[in-house]
Amino acid sequence: MQCYEAATTETARVTADREVELKFLCTPGDLAAVLAAAPAGDDESRELISVYFDTPDLALQKAGVSLRVRESKGRRVQTLKRGEGLSREEHEAPVAGDEPDRDLGPLKDLLPEGDRLDPAFNVRVTRRQRTFCYQDAEIELALDQGEVIGGTRHSPICEVELELKQGPPSALFALARDLSRVAPLYLSFDGKAARGQALVAGAPLQARRSEKVTLAPHATAVEAFQTVARNALGQIAANAAVLRAEPGAEAVHQLRVAVRRLRSALSTFKPIVADGRLAAVKADLKWFAARFNDARNLDVFALSAQAQSRDLVAPPPGLDALAAALETARQRAWAAAAETAAGQRFRDLMIDVTAWVETGGWIAAADAQSAKAFAGHALKRRLHKVLKHGKHVRGADDTARHHLRIEAKKLRYAAEGFADLYPKRAMARFIGRVKDLQEALGALNDLAVAGPLLTALPLKTEAAFAAGALLGLRVAAKPKLVAEAAKAFHRLAAADAPFA
């Protein structure tokens, strides 16, 4: 299928060992609308049965690799996938039987000699597939509906996949925006292998914590930013999915952490990523983060109030009424957060930010600076800001300590993103001291937020009395919190920075 006359500089690197693909979650009722809205093309429907393999100690999963043998219409194909982001490494080859061929592609180099490969889980889907031309690109649309099966456990699958066969990747994102207008499509960074692995492990639906950022030793600064951004975007998408399904405190918290990590990366990598789109990306993420502030502040106060009440010898009256009022407010805030994570603006944000990370104009304008060289300058700059803002932490007001907390947070996220480039133990010790300062300042910020939060709540008299009593005890403990923050700052200031 010829969709364009000549390749452009934006043409994706679509080769025999790469796939360029976007994946979206949806519901079965959305598939017909997506198919109807897609450009016309040749349709095909088929049943796919895939068996995923790994070693007994999960060597492939730990290496970020998935291995499957897929059967369709009597033909078996072995596929190995590795990598993250828009373009991933993919190796396919026909096989004669049900077992993987250890000598195909890079598999033989990934498996320790003597390690056996066992079936881990199965995926069975009905795939409706269509290939067409769209904006000078050849794109394959696949609608998958079925289930992952691991032992006695089952998990449903309903996905839309857009794979670029040839042409500019901008066309892939443009089509994603169009299709997202006719059905709620949620960008996902987890493949079927990740779902199967979670199913076999018996992991319930739960909020996703930050995952370690892995950088290659000779990565460029551009590659480092994309790796950090993809990591954060994957955490955002995963926690938004949890929030839509089961709204709760931990999903809200981890989603906010992921957004903060991404916003921090934009700030740290600004010398590289600054282009005409950066301001819009920052504004969208700032809007999104602000939508979860009420829920998080309520969660923090409610949980700390519970712990505080347990330690009181003579609890003030009205605690039960306060707890009930807080729970009602939290449920309302969680529902609002889930609505935001299900909305069109969020879906557009995820597509637009991912497109910018993967194909933005900043990439062509960036030099070939190494990640290590960039990290050294960036971390020194971040540490300098923390040390400058923290000199007078004891006498500072709440606003000044809030700014110091933000700078500490940016330093921590930057250090975690670059950790692979420095000695492991030394970097872990340094990050630990930054984290101690951040948490000490966080306790002070929670106290500063608590007063306005309680004022805004429609509390009845007895609940208001209990809230005032608890808040008064916290205010009395503020000097101790300030002393802990000052101590954490001085420990950080005295620390040996691995990047200095």
Question: Percent helix, strand and coil across the chain, each rounded to 5?
Answer: 55, 20, 25
Establish if 445 belongs to a structural domain: yes
- Please report the pLDDT score of residue 16 as a whole number: 56
Residue 363: the pLDDT is 96
Q: Quick one: which of 161, 148, 34, 180 has its CA closest to 86?
A: 161
Q: Domain of 424?
A: 249-493
List the CATH number of the domain containing 96: 2.40.320.10
pLDDT in tens, 93-112: 999 989 999 888 889 889 87
In this structure, are 137 and 199 located in the same domain? yes
pLDDT of residue 450: 95
Could you tell me if 42 and 181 lie in one domain? Answer: yes
According to DSSP, the residues that pair with 143 across neighbouring strands are: 128, 160
Clarify whether residues 185 and 256 are in a common domain.
no
DSSP assignment of 460-493, as one string?
-HHHHHHHHHHHHHHHHTHHHHHHHHHHHHHHHH
Q: How far apart are CA 316 and CA 298, in angstroms?
A: 20
Nearest to 251 by CA among 160, 313, 318, 342: 342
Residues 255, 195 share a domain: no
Distance (Å, whole) CA 143 – CA 129:
6
Q: Are residues 257 and 164 in the same domain?
A: no
254 and 184 fall within a common domain: no
pLDDT score at 9: 44
What pLDDT, on the 0 to 100 scale, is given for residue 8? 47
Q: How many residues in the chain?
A: 500
CA pair distance 295, 244, nearest whole angstrom: 14
What angle separates helix 371-390 from helix 398-418, to the nearest 10 degrees? Answer: 160
Place of tokens 């790469």: 18
Residue-level pLDDT at 203 = 78
Q: Are residues 320 and 455 in the same domain?
A: yes
**What is the CATH classification number for the domain harbouring 400?**
1.40.20.10
Q: How many domains does the chain have?
A: 2
* Residues 253 and 158 placed together within one structural domain of the fold: no
Whole-angstrom distance, CA of residue 445 vs CA of residue 450? 9
**β-strand pairing of 186-188 with 18-25:** antiparallel
Are residues 262 and 200 located together in one domain of the fold? no
Token pair listed for 273: 């990523």
How far apart, in Å, are the Cα atoms of 359 and each of 8, 93, 223, 367? Answer: 13, 29, 12, 15
Q: Averaged in consecutive runs of 10 residues, what is the pLDDT profile of the chain (500 residues)? A: 57 64 96 96 94 94 94 92 89 92 88 87 96 96 96 93 96 97 96 91 87 93 97 97 96 97 98 96 98 97 92 88 96 98 97 97 94 97 96 94 97 97 96 98 96 94 95 94 97 94
Instruction: Judge if 412 and 334 occupy the same domain.
Output: yes
pLDDT of residue 372: 96
Residues 191 and 260 in one domain: no
Give me the residue label for tokens 């390690």. 115
Identify whether 232 is part of a domain. Answer: no
Residue 71: the pLDDT is 94
* pLDDT reported for residue 5: 54
Identify whether 106 is part of a domain.
yes
* Tokens describing residue 56: 């007994």
Q: Could you tell me if residue 237 is inside a domain?
A: no
As a whole number of angstroms, the distance between CA 431 and CA 82 comes to 29
User: Which residues have a Cβ under 8 Å from the Cβ of 425 and sit 6 or more positions away?
Assistant: none
Q: Would 125 be classed as within a structural domain?
A: yes
- B/e letters for 22-50, b = 16+ CB within 10 Å, e = fewer, are bbbbbeeebbeebbeebeebeeeeeebeb
CA geometry: angle 430, 434, 435, nearest 5 deg: 115
Residue 231 within any structural domain of the chain: no
Q: CB under 8 Å, gap of 24 or more: what pairs does 226-232 form?
A: 226/85, 226/357, 226/358, 227/84, 227/417, 228/261, 228/265, 228/269, 228/417, 229/262, 229/265, 229/357, 230/84, 230/85, 230/189, 230/357, 231/84, 231/261, 232/258, 232/259, 232/261, 232/262, 232/265
Does 31 fall in a domain?
A: yes
Together in a domain, 259 and 188:
no
**Helix H or strand E segment including 22:** strand 18-25
CB 175 within 8 A of CB 41: no
Q: Which of 186, 204, 222 is the last residue of a domain?
A: 204
Q: Which residues pair with 70 in a beta bridge?
A: 50, 77
Euclidean distance between CA atoms 352 and 341, whole angstroms: 15
Let me know if residue 226 belongs to a domain. no
Q: Which two tokens stand for residue 180?
A: 């997202």
